[in-house]
């Protein structure tokens, strides 16, 4: 458990929030800009390093505030250049952050929650249950840590991180305020200056929150579709029972049309062998997404222990892609990166202190199923 100091953590404050903080301690609002640059452009966590701030104010800040990122537990670098950090958050759980360099781009995949309550059937994060929402400082803190590790300071001049995707652990729309604050810092010139097109929030489809998001921000949006019909999606993405396809796609359409300027929805579709990878699924998807402004990203399933799913063959993946492509869709297949350090999509497990006890139940149910299967096989043999 990370100890609480009772001080205000300035790391997670947006510019307006930091201005209010300075006002609340009887100081001028412009100090916010100075301090944000020190924190985010220069990676500073020590008030004494802020050379354009006088000693009296630095002492005042030291008494009431701090700049504290999550604790880095480990950092791994894959043979393909992918990096993974495990960081400990205040609740005591650990979450993961992944950096993926590709061509001239560097994409940081950021976590929003320790674990996830939504329990998608093929996701290892979901299988661990839920522990806690990350604070805004813990969300932006992942960008802060990654950026510092490249030594590319100031961040805005020599950028290692060009894109951020909220596709790490957790459902970002269920930690709305903290995720929105952190994304605002990512886009702010006083923060990381990343363009709104290059910050992407991925959701499993919490429809009302997609509409709420559209009221406050204009980042890019990705929907984790994974199935082209409600019965199958109910099995794979249980939140679909609450917000079925028609409802969630309506919210996405509203969100995208607000953005204008030729922006499109990214559809993520994890391909699971013999489950959602058949030509009939591609055909249903084509019908479902007819006239929808979108691009499709196919993610071959990344296995994890006891998942019960398999990755389709390269031929089936290609066949699925071709069908969508022939119907006029822009379709990419996500290449798996960082497998040697378990950094691929859906492999992020951190170390979640599960409050829901789902992981225990999951293992117990898997064991029962395996035993039932073994006894069935034995009966069949006799």
187 near ligand SF4, judged by CB under 6 A: no
Nearest to residue 32, comparing CAs of 43, 41, 21, 40?
A: 21
DSSP letter string over 322-348?
HHHHHTT--EEEPPP--GGGT-STT--
Asked if 96 is an active-site residue, the reply is yes
Q: Which of the residues 109, 252, 294, 345 is marked catalytic?
A: 345
**Min. distance of Cβ 123 from ligand SF4 in angstroms?**
3
202 annotated as ligand-binding: yes
Return the number of the residue (91 or 111) whose C-beta is nearest ligand SAH.
Answer: 111
226 annotated as ligand-binding: yes
Query: Using CA atoms, how far apart are residues 304 and 168, in angstroms rounded to an integer?
Result: 16
Q: What angle do CA 288, 249, 125 make, to 5 degrees?
A: 105
Which letter does DSSP use for residue 82 in this model?
A: -
Return the number of the residue (9 or 163) whose C-beta is nearest ligand SAH.
Answer: 163
Query: Using CA atoms, how far apart are residues 362 and 346, in angstroms rounded to an integer?
Result: 16
125 near ligand SF4, judged by CB under 6 A: yes
126 near ligand SF4, judged by CB under 6 A: yes
Query: Using CA atoms, how far apart are residues 374 and 377, in angstroms rounded to an integer?
Result: 5
Return the number of the residue (19 or 268) whose C-beta is nearest ligand SAH.
Answer: 268
Binding residue for ligand SF4, selected from 32, 57, 116, 201, defined by CB under 6 A: 116
DSSP letter string over 48-79?
GG-TTS-HHHHHHHHHHEE--PPEEEEEEE-T
Segment interacting with ligand SF4 (CB under 6 A) among 115-123, 140-148, 212-220, 326-334? 115-123
> Could you give the 3-state DSSP secondary structure of residue 108?
strand
109 annotated as ligand-binding: no
> Contact residues for ligand SAH (CB under 6 A)?
120, 122-123, 167, 171, 202-204, 224, 268, 270, 299, 301-302, 345-346
223, β-bridge pairs: 203, 267
**Min. distance of Cβ 333 from ligand SF4 in angstroms?**
18
Q: Which of the residues 19, 96, 138, 268 is marked catalytic?
A: 96
Nearest to residue 20, comparing CAs of 131, 181, 174, 179?
A: 181
Which residues, other chains included, contact 298 with Cβ-Cβ below 8 Å and sequence gap of 6+? 269, 271, 317, 320, 321, 331, 332, 333, 334
Asked if 71 is an active-site residue, the reply is no
79 annotated as ligand-binding: no
**Where do the DSSP E strands lie in the chain?**
8-9, 65-66, 71-77, 83-88, 94-102, 105-109, 113-115, 130-133, 163-166, 199-203, 220-224, 265-271, 294-300, 331-333
302 annotated as ligand-binding: yes
Nearest to residue 268, comparing CAs of 213, 332, 206?
A: 332
Query: Using CA atoms, how far apart are residues 271 and 225, in angstroms rounded to an integer?
Result: 11
**Min. distance of Cβ 172 from ligand SF4 in angstroms?**
9
170 near ligand SF4, judged by CB under 6 A: yes
Return the number of the residue (118 or 182) whose C-beta is nearest ligand SF4.
Answer: 118
**Min. distance of Cβ 132 from ligand SF4 in angstroms?**
14
Segment interacting with ligand SF4 (CB under 6 A) among 50-58, 70-78, 120-128, 254-262? 120-128
204 near ligand SF4, judged by CB under 6 A: yes
Sheet holding 71-77, edge to edge: 71-77, 83-88, 94-102, 105-109, 163-166, 199-203, 220-224, 265-271, 294-300, 331-333
**Min. distance of Cβ 50 from ligand SAH in angstroms?**
36
**Min. distance of Cβ 61 from ligand SAH in angstroms?**
35
Return the number of the residue (147 or 204) whose C-beta is nearest ligand SF4.
Answer: 204
Binding residue for ligand SF4, selected from 8, 50, 57, 123, defined by CB under 6 A: 123
Binding-site sequence positions for S-adenosyl-L-methionine: 170-171, 202, 224-226, 302
Binding-site sequence positions: 116, 120, 123, 170-171, 202, 224-226, 302
Residues that bind ligand SF4 (CB under 6 A): 116, 118-120, 123, 125-126, 170-171, 204, 224
Catalytic residue IDs: 96, 345
Binding-site sequence positions for [4Fe-4S] cluster: 116, 120, 123
């Amino acid at each position: 458990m990370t100890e609480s100091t009772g001080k205000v953590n300035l790391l997670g404050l947006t510019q307006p929030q930091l201005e209010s903080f300075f006002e609340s301690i009887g100081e001028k609002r412009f100090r916010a800009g100075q301090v944000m640059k020190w924190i985010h452009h220069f990676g500073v966590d020590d008030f004494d390093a802020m050379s354009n701030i006088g000693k009296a104010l630095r002492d005042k800040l030291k008494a009431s505030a701090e700049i504290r990122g999550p604790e880095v537990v480990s950092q791994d670098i894959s043979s393909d250049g992918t990096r993974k950090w495990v960081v400990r958050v205040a609740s005591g759980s650990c979450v993961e952050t992944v950096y993926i360099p590709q061509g001239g781009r560097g994409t940081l995949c950021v976590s929003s929650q320790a674990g996830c309550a939504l329990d998608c059937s093929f996701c290892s994060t979901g299988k661990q249950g839920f522990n806690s929402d990350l604070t805004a400082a813990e969300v932006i803190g992942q960008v802060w840590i990654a950026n510092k590790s490249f030594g590319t300071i100031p961040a805005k001049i020599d950028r290692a991180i060009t894109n951020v995707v909220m596709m790490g652990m957790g459902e970002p729309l269920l930690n709305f305020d903290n995720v929105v604050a952190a994304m605002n810092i990512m886009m702010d010139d006083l923060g990381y200056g990343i363009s709104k097109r290059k910050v992407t929030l991925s959701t499993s489809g919490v429809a009302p929150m997609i509409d709420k998001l559209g009221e406050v921000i204009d980042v890019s949006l990705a929907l984790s579709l994974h199935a082209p019909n409600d019965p199958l999606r109910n099995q794979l993405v249980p939140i679909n029972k609450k917000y079925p396809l028609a409802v969630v796609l309506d919210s996405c359409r509203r969100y995208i049309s607000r953005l204008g300027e030729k922006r499109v929805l990214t559809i993520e579709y994890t391909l699971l062998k013999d489950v959602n990878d058949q030509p009939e699924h591609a055909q249903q998807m084509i019908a479902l997404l007819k006239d929808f402004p979108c691009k499709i990203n196919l993610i071959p399933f990344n296995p994890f222990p006891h998942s019960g799913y398999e990755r389709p063959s390269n031929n089936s993946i290609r066949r699925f892609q071709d069908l969508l492509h022939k119907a006029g869709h822009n379709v990419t297949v996500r290449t798996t990166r960082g497998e040697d350090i378990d950094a691929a999509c859906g492999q992020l497990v951190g170390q979640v202190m599960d409050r829901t006890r789902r992981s225990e139940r999951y293992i117990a149910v898997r064991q029962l199923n395996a035993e039932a299967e073994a006894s069935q096989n034995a009966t069949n043999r006799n």
